[in-house]
Structures are given as structure tokens and as C-alpha cells.
């Protein structure tokens, strides 16, 4: 009887270890434009986010929160590099902006975040 209990405990530990391993593939940003709290010229901004893992570009979303509070969806470009998400923002006016991003990593997990930045002004 004690022997059977010990085997059950070992199986439970094995399952837990596998779950921890798969969680390590979450998408994390390594590099971005805009940079966090960075300042950029008015007009056109070529946006990119580089992640630590492959992501599903077709199911990734980018949008901009404009100075007047409106949210503008951006079209995610196609990239040969599966760790990149890109978009072009045009007509940026001076003021505070926020880039909102949501990506689907190849492990099936969604990650999202926000990058506040500034346009124009000195």
C-alpha cells in the first residue's frame, strides 16, 4: 500500500515539471520601436517589436492610442523573421501616444502589453 502511494506522488511531480517547462516559451520583447517612453518625430513611424520566440504574426494585434484618446488599429505586416511584428503608423501628430500589442506565441499563449511614447515637442 505505501509503495503505491509513493509511485502516485512521483507521477504528480512529473506532471508539474512538464507544465513549468512549457510556460517558459512565453513571448518577451527583446527590442522595440517605439522604445519605452521614447520621443519620435511627427509623421510616419515604422514600428517593430522583436520577441524572444516565434510568434503567429497573423494572430497578433497592434493598435495606437492617440493623444485625443481614440484607438487606431494598425495593419501588421508580413515578415520572413517569425520573431518580428511590424506595422507602419502614419500621420502622427504631436502628443503622448501608447502602442498596445498582443501576440500569440507558438506555445499557444497570448501575451499583451503597452509601450507609452511621445511624438514631437522638445
Tell me whether residue 82 or residue 91 sits nearer to Cu ion (CB atom): 82
Q: Are strands 110-119 and 95-105 parallel, antiparallel or unpaired?
A: antiparallel
Please tell me the distance from the alpha carbon of residue 98 to that of residue 73, in angstroms, as a whole number: 12
| Closer by beta carbon to Cu ion, 25 or else 84 | 25
Return the C-alpha cell found at 15.
506532471
When asked if residue 56 is in the footprint of Cu ion (CB under 5 A), the reply is: no
**Closest Cα partner for 115 from 27, 35, 28, 50?**
35
Please, what is the minimum distance in Å from the beta carbon of residue 115 to Cu ion? 20
Binding mask 73-112 for Cu ion (x = CB under 5 A): ----------------------------------x-x---
Per DSSP bridges, beta strands 71-74 and 110-119 are unpaired
Q: Interface residues with Cu ion (CB under 5 A)?
A: 25-26, 107, 109
Amino acid at each position: 500500500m505505501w509503495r503505491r502511494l509513493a509511485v502516485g506522488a512521483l507521477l504528480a511531480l512529473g506532471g508539474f515539471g512538464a507544465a513549468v517547462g512549457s510556460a517558459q516559451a512565453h513571448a518577451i520583447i527583446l527590442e522595440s520601436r517605439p522604445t519605452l517612453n521614447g520621443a519620435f518625430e511627427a509623421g510616419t513611424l515604422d514600428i517593430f517589436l522583436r520577441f524572444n520566440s516565434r510568434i503567429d504574426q497573423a494572430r497578433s494585434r497592434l493598435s495606437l492610442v492617440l493623444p485625443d484618446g481614440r484607438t487606431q488599429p494598425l495593419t501588421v505586416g508580413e515578415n520572413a523573421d517569425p520573431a518580428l511584428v511590424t506595422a507602419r503608423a502614419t500621420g502622427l501628430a504631436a502628443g503622448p501616444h501608447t502602442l498596445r500589442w498582443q501576440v500569440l506565441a507558438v506555445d499557444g499563449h497570448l501575451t499583451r502589453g503597452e509601450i507609452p511614447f511621445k511624438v514631437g515637442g522638445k
